[in-house]
Structure 1
Amino acid sequence: MGGGDDGGDGGAGQGASGGHVVYAEQFAPASAWAMETNDAHSLTRAGCLETLVKYTAEGELEPMLATEWTQVEPTTWEFTLREGVTFQDGTPMDAEAVAGALSHVLEVETPARAFNADVIAGVEAADEATVRISTPKPDPLVPLRVANANAGILAPKAYEGRQIDIVGTCTGPFTVTEEVPQQSLSLEANADYWGGEVTLDSAEVRFVIDGATRATQLQSGEVHIAKSLPVANLANLEGDDNLEIAQLELARTTVMLLNNSRPPFDDPLVRQAIQQAVDTQAIVDGVYEGAAAAAVGPFGPDTDWAPEGAEAVAPDLDEARALLDEAGVAPEDLSIQLLAYNDRPEFGDVAAVIQSQLGELGVDVKIKGGDYAAMEPDMLSGDFDAALLSRGYLVDVADPGGYLLSDWTCEGGYNIAHYCDPETDQQIQDAAAIEDTAERNAAYQELAAKLQEEAASVFLLHENAVWGLQGDVEGFQPHPLDYYVLTADLAVS
């Protein structure tokens, strides 16, 4: 329905005003649209959910549902709401509604890493058009926290039932008219959108988990936009004159997490030996076919947070053997299990390459596959040796401070590596509290160098996003954080 070749109502081939777009989304909603989960990001890409502040593709903050924001006291921020905005059910978007939506996220059992009671003390309506957010201690990242989809704003009606109601409760350019669970969302243009006229008449979001299927549907014309295309399909797709393939460097790093909480990886010398034996460039060339870059640490080399001149670790088996010898560990005594979840289709091949590379050192690696959801409890509890993880370092907050606090502090909510160093904890907390951006970035560079030098885990590669578009799609811009897809300006010609 609604594909680029069906010729039916709203199909591709209409003018730049009107028309219908089908977007193939990588992940189906897994938590009944709970705002504290990744489902919120899917609803943002669907053009429904909006936030107080917008994080642009250029890395700037712009007004969205709030027009301005001010730190009125060290631990207090005030956000002035845009006038005249209504939710799609016709109710006003006033300060009481916004405070209620944000408070709901704070009160859930497992709150979002970007917006939770540890970093937000409370939210209240200061007056009809002003929302006041207080923090336990001064936090320069609050505007970035409310730009995250987990801090998206829905109408009061959305929270009345046992699960979130997304039909008619958003403020965005598209309103949900029908949901087929785990399969699709049907949407129509919001005629009363505060941002002006919406070019398209309607849209469909299809949840297509398998990457090869997304590629096939794009090439057949069933979908107009496809997210996260597998590198194995690129050569075929790039040869199709009817398609446009766009690659964008993501703020995302694939890492082989080493469980620092138990042997053998509680010894930094063993971790460094493993790091020295892994050829990251060979993984990029052999598995990703160039659609990635060898990691120089947790942050991409072209970011403000990578140390100047940072380079990927060059493989050196002799050095790896020397490190193991210093640790008093014989390579043949090391037998580790590597978790490689199949939600990322490349991970099976990545694991196989690592298995071969460490085998040259004499280390036995056994690979265990499966769904990420099934593996996560063991990973969070520390019941594993090593695990592959694709992690966006700006997903929680569009500043590395959120990622560092979550993933690399002793009590971090997503510290799967179970890395714990009180000195690093203090450095991270101090860095995230620096108000001056340049000074904060310099502190992040020092932390990135430290994590790489200590081999807190093995940072493998920095990923590219691969998007596919039908040639008649206009007004689409890939976002480095995957925030927005269906927008008011999106069109088919």
Structure 2
Amino acid sequence: MPRDTHTTTATPFPGLHRRGFLAATGAAGLGALALTGCADTPGTAPDDPKNDGTPKRGGRLRAAFAGGGASETLDPHLSNLFADAARAKALYDKLADYGGDLSARPRLASSWEPNGRLDRWKVSLRAAVFHDGQPVTANDVLYSYRRIADPARAFRARASLEPIDLAASRATDERTVEFVLKRPTAEFPNVMAAFGAYIVPASARDGDFDHRPVGSGPFRLVSFAPGRSTVLRRNDDYWDGAPHLDQLEFVVANEESARVNALLGGQVEYAHELNPATARAHENGGRIRIVRLRNSAMQSFAMKTDRPPFDDPRVRRALMLVADREELVRGALSGAGEIGNDLFGKGYEYYADSLPQREQDLGRARSLLKQAGAEDLRITLDTSPVAAGFTESAAVFRDQAAEAGITVEVRTGSKDTYWKDILDAGTLSCYRSGAMPIESHLSQRLLTGSTTNATKWRHEDFDSLYQQAQSTRDPKERSAVYARMQRRLHTEGPFLIWGFADWILGTARGVRGIEPQAPANTLDWARFDRVWLA
């Protein structure tokens, strides 16, 4: 089967005249195919985004996401933004992915089995083929993981794959991999499900991904214009069943208002990440559907611990005591969420819910600042309209900090480069995360070698606790180690986690198959191979 060919240019959307939308997208997209009718299926509840009728085949769905500008890539190992993850999911597969309960579910791996010591795992692959017709083999898996683990590269999943001894791991036959681990690892399935751990052919080269990407996913590439539009078509040979849609287009619209206006105007059928005020305005209006993924997104402020003033744990604790979390949820999220306790993963397995809920205590905050010699603390808080609630939370927190004598200067950065900018620069920034297991949050963000360690939290004893947890076979004993780690983070950690927001999507009335119980970053989130147009 020949590889797909495509162009890298995009012609403007016919009929796309909304000024705000054009400004955000650069007139992205190709001319739209005719869509099937958008009337509700008879017998379906009008506000139910799922359809209990028969899926229909055909049509093009256009999905608007905030993007990363001209630097966007289809290299799945460089996935960082939600738009990147959604495109990667459409083109590629992982060995496993997270279910709605954050447990690992088989994908390209049909099964896995450890030895008695938990330091060798046998992984069997299902029969699947890449877009060029070649089978997905054990050698492709090993090539993909070795590419991700390259120390010269900054691939996000590198830290998650750290437990694997890739030099010793081997293909025992075409569809079986024996992973040899550096230490016993009870939660190895989470490694296979890690964000960005996609499988590519062993023949893939860096220059191919944006021009001729070959994955095993449900869609094939038609065209890619970075920062503007990505057009895909159905992969009829997909191992998990061909998608219902003929075509899928990702349109970049960084402004939330642009995504909403495009949805209301019929230029797109799916708008990712709407803010709570928008949801309230349109929830009962009948023109579009609002889908809420409850408490899916961690909302926080990230403090750089390798530089003043946050290299002093007393200053970090002071900021945690400054925060009025209920006011932040009300003011920044319009009440669409619940308060946090400076720990990731509320409600997930291993979450330390026995720790006392931190409340605002301005007197104690001032005392800590005085002990640290920081009574007249002045800090800059980086934010951006790149995510719902960011600019609002910065303004609310600025006013709260002033009550403790802290001067906060809010600095608004570029939507296109914000995540890259705050990774190494600044001292305090607005930060968020979608769903992932707690151990993945720890491995990707809080270990010395984590590639997305935006807080520069680097402690060898903390790294050792993580390795101890991963090597502990008994779940109760493993939970106790995670509890120790979370107690330390609660006391002096680098994240002021003030809330967990609802994740809000908007769709046209005729869109079906959206899974409302799928938190962001999980298997059924942005799973467009299961979506259809009624």
User: After TM superposition, is the score higher than 0.5?
Assistant: yes
Question: Match of 1:185, SS?
Answer: strand
Say if 1:179 and 1:12 are closer, same or farther in 2 by CA, change over 3 A.
farther
- TM-score, normalising length from structure 2? 0.81
CA distance in 2, matches of 1:418, 1:151: 23
Question: Which stretch of structure 1 is more off in the superposition, 12-21 or 314-323?
Answer: 12-21
- Does 2:71 correspond to 1:22? no
Q: Which of 428, 431, 442 is residue 389 of structure 1 equivalent to?
A: 431
Contact 1:22/1:225 (8 A) holds in 2: yes
Q: Which of 151, 173, 190 is residue 235 of structure 2 equivalent to?
A: 190
- Does 2:111 correspond to 1:68? yes
Q: Which of 88, 102, 105 is residue 44 of structure 1 equivalent to?
A: 88
Contact 1:212/1:230 (8 A) holds in 2: no
Q: 2:512 is matched with which residue?
A: 474
Contact 1:337/1:386 (8 A) holds in 2: yes
Q: Which of 228, 238, 253 is residue 298 of structure 2 equivalent to?
A: 253
The correspondence of residues 299-338 of structure 1 with structure 2, limited to 5 A, is: 299-310=344-355, 312-325=357-370, 327=371, 329=373, 331=375, 333-338=376-381
TM-superposed CA distance for 1:436, in Å, is 3.4
Question: Match of 2:398, SS?
Answer: helix
CA distance in 1, matches of 2:107, 2:459: 39
- Does 2:247 correspond to 1:205? no
Contact 1:2/1:21 (8 A) holds in 2: no
CA distance in 2, matches of 1:141, 1:3: 50
The correspondence of residues 213-292 of structure 1 with structure 2, limited to 5 A, is: 213-250=258-295, 252-292=297-337
Question: Match of 2:94, SS?
Answer: coil
Say if 1:71 and 1:384 are closer, same or farther in 2 by CA, change over 3 A.
same
- Does 2:226 correspond to 1:181? yes
Q: 2:124 is matched with which residue?
A: 80
Say if 1:287 and 1:155 are closer, same or farther in 2 by CA, change over 3 A.
same
Q: 2:194 is matched with which residue?
A: 148
Contact 1:187/1:202 (8 A) holds in 2: yes
TM-superposed CA distance for 1:377, in Å, is 6.9
TM-superposed CA distance for 1:269, in Å, is 2.8
Alignment-mate amino acid for residue 81 of structure 1: L
The Cα offsets for residues 296-320 of structure 1, whole Å up to 9 and x where unpaired, read as 2222432233323555422122222
Alignment-mate amino acid for residue 433 of structure 2: R
Q: Which of 34, 37, 53 is residue 9 of structure 1 equivalent to?
A: 34
Contact 2:296/2:503 (8 A) holds in 1: no
The correspondence of residues 157-172 of structure 1 with structure 2, limited to 5 A, is: 157=203, 159-160=204-205, 162-165=207-210, 167=212, 169-172=214-217
The Cα offsets for residues 415-469 of structure 1, whole Å up to 9 and x where unpaired, read as 3333344443332332233233444334323322331223544222222211112
Say if 1:415 and 1:100 are closer, same or farther in 2 by CA, change over 3 A.
closer
- Does 2:163 correspond to 1:124? no
- Does 2:128 correspond to 1:94? no
Q: Which of 445, 458, 469 is residue 431 of structure 1 equivalent to?
A: 469
TM-superposed CA distance for 1:208, in Å, is 1.8
Contact 2:137/2:174 (8 A) holds in 1: yes
- Does 2:496 correspond to 1:458? yes
TM-superposed CA distance for 1:370, in Å, is 1.1
Contact 2:66/2:253 (8 A) holds in 1: yes
Gaps of 5+ in 2: 1-12, 17-30, 40-54
CA distance in 2, matches of 1:374, 1:143: 32
Q: 2:48 is matched with which residue?
A: none
Identity of aligned residues (%): 24
Cα RMSD after superposing both structures: 3.0
TM-superposed CA distance for 1:259, in Å, is 3.0
Contact 2:435/2:520 (8 A) holds in 1: no
The Cα offsets for residues 330-358 of structure 1, whole Å up to 9 and x where unpaired, read as 63x21112222342253222112111111
Q: Tell me the number of residue pairs that the alignment of Structure 1 and Structure 2 aligns.
A: 482
Contact 1:299/1:305 (8 A) holds in 2: no
Contact 2:61/2:248 (8 A) holds in 1: yes
TM-superposed CA distance for 1:241, in Å, is 0.8
Q: Which of 402, 408, 411 is residue 446 of structure 2 equivalent to?
A: 408
Say if 1:124 and 1:7 are closer, same or farther in 2 by CA, change over 3 A.
closer
Alignment-mate amino acid for residue 34 of structure 2: D
Gaps of 5+ in 1: none
